[in-house]
C-alpha cells in the first residue's frame, strides 16, 4: 500500500504541475447515483495518487433545488465508500462575496451586459442559425440594445440577467480524457434574472480560491469548459487541468436517472465493498476482485489512461 505521506522532494514533473489538488462538487438536489460516485472516486484517486488535497464543495447556489438532507446523504454515501476529504466541505451559498468581487472585476472590464430575454425568446433566438456559434447558443440579442433603451428598461423595473460579452472567443484546451478540445464561447449568463450567481462564475472563482489544479467531473460539463476558461482569463486566474469522465448509462442505453433501479447506494442494498469493486472495475482497476474494502487499495494501480473513453453501461 502506498504511503499517504507527502514526498519530501519534488521532481521536475512535480514542479511543472504543483497544483494537483482535486475536488468533488455535488449539487445537493438528490441522492448521488453511481455515475456521480464513480466520478468522485476518479477525482479522489487522481488527487490522492499525487499526494494532493481533496476537497468537497457543496454547490447549493440554487435555493429551489438544494436541500440539506440531500447534502447529508451525499456525504454519507462518499464516506461509506471510503472517499475522504480535507477540511470541512465548503458551501457556495456562503461564498457570495467572492462571486460579487469577481463580478465587480468583470464589470470594471466592461464585459457584462443586461439580458432581458425570456426563456421563450432565448429558445427561439437560439434555434435560428447564426454563424460560428453552436446550436442552442445565445446569439447576443441584448448586446445590440442601445445604451438609452437599456437604461430605460432597467429603470422601468424589467428583470434581467447579466451576460458576458464573449466576442465568440475560440478556446482550446487539452483534456486528460477527451484529448484536444476546442469550442466557441457564446455570451453566457453569470447572474440569473432571479439574482442567483450562475454555475460558471461560481465554479471558476471557487476552484481558483481553493487552489484546485485538477478538475475531474462528468463529461456532461465538458461543453461548459470553454466558457469557464474564458472566465479564468478575464479574471486573471490560473488555469486548471481538466478530465471529463464518461457518462454512465443504463442497460437500456439511456442516461442514468434516479428512477433507474440500482442507481444509488440505497437502491443497491449491498456491502460498500461490492459497489466499490464494481466502480473500480468500471475504471479499469480491480479486474479480478469482487470486493474492495477501501479506495486506498486502488491507489497503486490507478492510471487515468485506463479509463475507457466511452460510456460505462451499468447492467
Name the site residues for Zn ion (rule: CB under 5 A): 115, 117, 141-142
Question: Which stretch of DSSP H or E encloses residue 207?
Answer: helix 199-209
Separation of alpha carbons 64 and 77, rounded Å: 23
Instruction: Decide if 71 contacts 212 (C-beta within 8 A).
Output: no
* Nearest CB to Zn ion, comparing residues 141 and 273: 141
Residue 295 · residue 45 · CB < 8 Å: yes
Q: Are the beta carbons of 226 and 184 closer than 8 angstroms?
A: yes
Closest to 246 measured CA to CA, from 79, 34, 103: 34
The DSSP output letter for 161 is E
Q: Give least dist CB 126 to Zn ion, A.
A: 11
Closer Cβ to Zn ion, 150 or 291, answer by number: 150
CA 284 to CA 41: how far, in whole Å? 13
Whichever of 115 and 298 has its CB closer to Zn ion, that residue is 115
Q: Work out how close the CB of 160 gets to Zn ion at its nearest, in angstroms, rounded to a whole number.
A: 8
CB of 248 to Zn ion, least distance (A): 35
| CA distance readout (Å), 233 to 6, 174, 237 | 31, 16, 6
Pick the closer one to Zn ion by CB: 159 or 176: 159
Compare residues 50 and 168 and give the one whose CB is closer to Zn ion: 168
* Segment (H or E) for 97: helix 96-108
Nearer to Zn ion, 11 or 110 (CB): 110
Q: Nearest-CA neighbor of 41 among 258, 313, 249, 248?
A: 248
Find the shortest distance in angstroms from Cβ 136 to Zn ion.
Answer: 15
Q: State in angstroms the smallest separation of the CB of 297 from Zn ion.
A: 52
Rounded Cα distance, 175 and 257, in Å: 26
Cβ 116 to Zn ion shortest distance, Å: 6
Amino acid at each position: 500500500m502506498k504511503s499517504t505521506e507527502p514526498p519530501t522532494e519534488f521532481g521536475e514533473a512535480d514542479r511543472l504541475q504543483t497544483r494537483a489538488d482535486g475536488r468533488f462538487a455535488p449539487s445537493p438536489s438528490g441522492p448521488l447515483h453511481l455515475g456521480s460516485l464513480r466520478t468522485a472516486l476518479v477525482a479522489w484517486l487522481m488527487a490522492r495518487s499525487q499526494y494532493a488535497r481533496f476537497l468537497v464543495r457543496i454547490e447549493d447556489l440554487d435555493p429551489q433545488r438544494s436541500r440539506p438532507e440531500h447534502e447529508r446523504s451525499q456525504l454519507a454515501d462518499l464516506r461509506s465508500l471510503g472517499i475522504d476529504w480535507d477540511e470541512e466541505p465548503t458551501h457556495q451559498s456562503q461564498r457570495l462575496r467572492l462571486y460579487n468581487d469577481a463580478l465587480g472585476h468583470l464589470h470594471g472590464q466592461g464585459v457584462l451586459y443586461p439580458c432581458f430575454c425570456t426563456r421563450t425568446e432565448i429558445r427561439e433566438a437560439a434555434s435560428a442559425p447564426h454563424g460560428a456559434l453552436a446550436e442552442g447558443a445565445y446569439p447576443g440579442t441584448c448586446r445590440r440594445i442601445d445604451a438609452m433603451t437599456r437604461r430605460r428598461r432597467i429603470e422601468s423595473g424589467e428583470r434581467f440577467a447579466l451576460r458576458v460579452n464573449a466576442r465568440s472567443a475560440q478556446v482550446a484546451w487539452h483534456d486528460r480524457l477527451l484529448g484536444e478540445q476546442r469550442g466557441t464561447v457564446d455570451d453566457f449568463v453569470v447572474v440569473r434574472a432571479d439574482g442567483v450567481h450562475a454555475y460558471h462564475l461560481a465554479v471558476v472563482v471557487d476552484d481558483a480560491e481553493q487552489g484546485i489544479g485538477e478538475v475531474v467531473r462528468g463529461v456532461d460539463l465538458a461543453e461548459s469548459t470553454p466558457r469557464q476558461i474564458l472566465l479564468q482569463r478575464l479574471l486573471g486566474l490560473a488555469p486548471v487541468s481538466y478530465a471529463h469522465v464518461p457518462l454512465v448509462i443504463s442497460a437500456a442505453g439511456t442516461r442514468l436517472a434516479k428512477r433507474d433501479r440500482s442507481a444509488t447506494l440505497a437502491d443497491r442494498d449491498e456491502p460498500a465493498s461490492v459497489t466499490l469493486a464494481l466502480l473500480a472495475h468500471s475504471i479499469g482497476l480491480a479486474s479480478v476482485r469482487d470486493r474492495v474494502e477501501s479506495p486506498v487499495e486502488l491507489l497503486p494501480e490507478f492510471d487515468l489512461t485506463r479509463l475507457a473513453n466511452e460510456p460505462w453501461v451499468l447492467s
